[in-house]
């Protein structure tokens, strides 16, 4: 899969994308990432890429021509590349969006700065606007990195031959269960006995219950989307009863 990132700050991408899992995925040719400096497509000799907003107001707006020329240059190699603008006004990004985007062979990611881009960029060149959360970043670059990371995890082979993002617990709409590794005792804090039992079905049951407990207390909204079995529903009832008892002051 190929990602082209249109940005005024291409250097921001060099280190984060070259480390660890994404770095290996690039080395192995599973993903290709190219940055395109929008400034290289400015029309004048001073390479101006922004201007004051029509109608007045604070800040600067990214000009339409350099962005248009940058997008056209990338799309001349592949006219059907799916073009995304990262903006807090976009559709909220989630695991499902990441999975769907991973089926695109080529994504073009436009990163805005300042007060954003001239509206005509969106009207004429953008297929989809995406937000990574309800907060405002200084630009779309970090949002693009988040998107690339989450999407790449769905590409076969990126997580290794025996793992896939389809198996992530979030993919099943539940939060992950607690994980432990050695030492057994850290400053007096131990680990749940069941994990040492070697009893795989007891361990699976404990993990499922803890995933349900965590989701129910931290993200109850996810439970409505989750595909809960009859056994899950029973476990949830047990969890809620246990919580009630604990609130009433009996810890048993
Ligand atoms: N650019 C600035 N803030 C952003 C956000 N929350 N999501 C996507 N792009 C952005």
> Is residue 4 within a helix (H) or strand (E), and if so which, with residue range?
strand 2-7
Look at ligand 1, atom 6, and give the residue with the nearest C-alpha: 88
Active-site annotation holds for 153: yes
Q: What is residue 50's predicted lDDT score, i.e. its pLDDT?
A: 97
10, 50, 153, 210: the active-site residue:
153
Residue 114's pLDDT band, with cuts at 50, 70 and 90, is confident
Q: Is 248 in the pocket of ligand 1 (CB under 6 A)?
A: no
- Please give the number of the atom of ligand 1 that sits closest to the Cα of 133: 6
pLDDT class for 237, splitting at 50, 70, 90? Answer: very high
Would you state the pLDDT for residue 172? 78
Q: Considering the chain, what percentage of its residues have pLDDT values greater than 70?
A: 98
Helical axes 230-247 vs 200-218, angle rounded to 10°? 60
CA 149 to centroid of chain Cα atoms: 6
pLDDT at residue 193 above 70? yes
Q: What is the DSSP letter of 133?
A: S
For residue 234, give every residue at least 6 positions away whose Cβ sits within 8 Å of its Cβ, in sequence order, or none.
Answer: none
How is 167-228 classified by DSSP, letter by letter? GSGGGGT-PPPP---S-S-BTTB---GGGGS--HHHHHHHHHHHHHHHHHHH-HHHHHHS--
- Pairwise CA distance, residues 181 & 196, whole Å: 11
104: pLDDT confidence band, cut at 50, 70 and 90?
very high
Both tokens of residue 130? 């995406």
Question: What integer pLDDT is reported at residue 251 of this predicted model?
Answer: 56
Q: Tell the burial category of 162 from Cβ atoms under 10 Å away from its Cβ (0-12, 13-18, 19+).
A: exposed
CA atoms within 13 A on the CB side of 171: 12
Q: Identify the residue whose tokens are 């769905």.
A: 154
Ligand 1 atom showing the smallest separation from residue 134 Cα? 6
pLDDT digits (tens, 9 = 90+) for 147-189: 999 999 999 999 998 887 887 867 678 999 999 999 999 999 9
Instruction: Beginning with the edge strand found earlier in the chain, give each strand of the sheet holding 106-111 in spatial order.
Output: 32-37, 2-7, 106-111, 82-92, 128-131
Mean predicted lDDT score pLDDT of the chain: 95
Enter the pTM of the model: 0.94
Nearest protein Cα to ligand 1, atom 5 = 88
**Whether the Cβ atoms of residue 106 and residue 78 lie closer than 8 Å to each other:** yes
Which pLDDT score, from 0 to 100, does residue 250 have?
67
Q: Which residue has the higher pLDDT, 17 or 83?
A: 83
Helix (H) or strand (E) holding 119: helix 119-125
């Amino acid at each position: 899969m190929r990602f082209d990132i249109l940005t005024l700050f291409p250097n921001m991408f060099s280190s984060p994308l070259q480390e660890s899992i994404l770095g290996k995925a690039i080395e192995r040719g599973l993903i290709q990432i190219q940055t395109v400096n929008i400034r290289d497509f400015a029309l004048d000799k001073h390479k101006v890429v922004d201007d004051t907003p029509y109608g007045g107001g604070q800040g600067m707006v990214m000009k339409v021509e350099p962005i248009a020329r940058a997008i056209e240059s990338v799309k001349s190699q592949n006219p059907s590349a799916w073009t995304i603008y990262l903006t807090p006004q976009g559709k909220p990004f989630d695991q499902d969006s990441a999975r769907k985007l991973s089926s695109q062979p080529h994504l073009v990611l436009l990163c805005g700065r300042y007060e954003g881009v001239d509206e005509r960029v969106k009207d004429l060149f953008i297929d989809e606007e995406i937000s990574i959360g309800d907060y405002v970043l200084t630009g779309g670059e970090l949002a693009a990195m988040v998107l690339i990371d989450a999407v790449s995890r769905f590409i076969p082979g990126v997580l290794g031959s025996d793992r896939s993002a389809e198996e992530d617990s979030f993919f099943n709409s539940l939060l992950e269960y607690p994980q432990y590794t050695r030492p057994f005792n850290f400053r007096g804090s131990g680990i749940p006995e069941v994990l040492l039992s070697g009893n795989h079905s007891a361990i699976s049951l404990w993990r499922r219950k803890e995933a349900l407990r965590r989701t129910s207390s931290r993200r109850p909204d996810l439970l409505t989307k989750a595909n809960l079995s009859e056994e899950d529903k029973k476990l949830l009832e047990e969890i809620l009863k246990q919580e009630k008892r604990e609130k009433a002051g009996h810890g048993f």
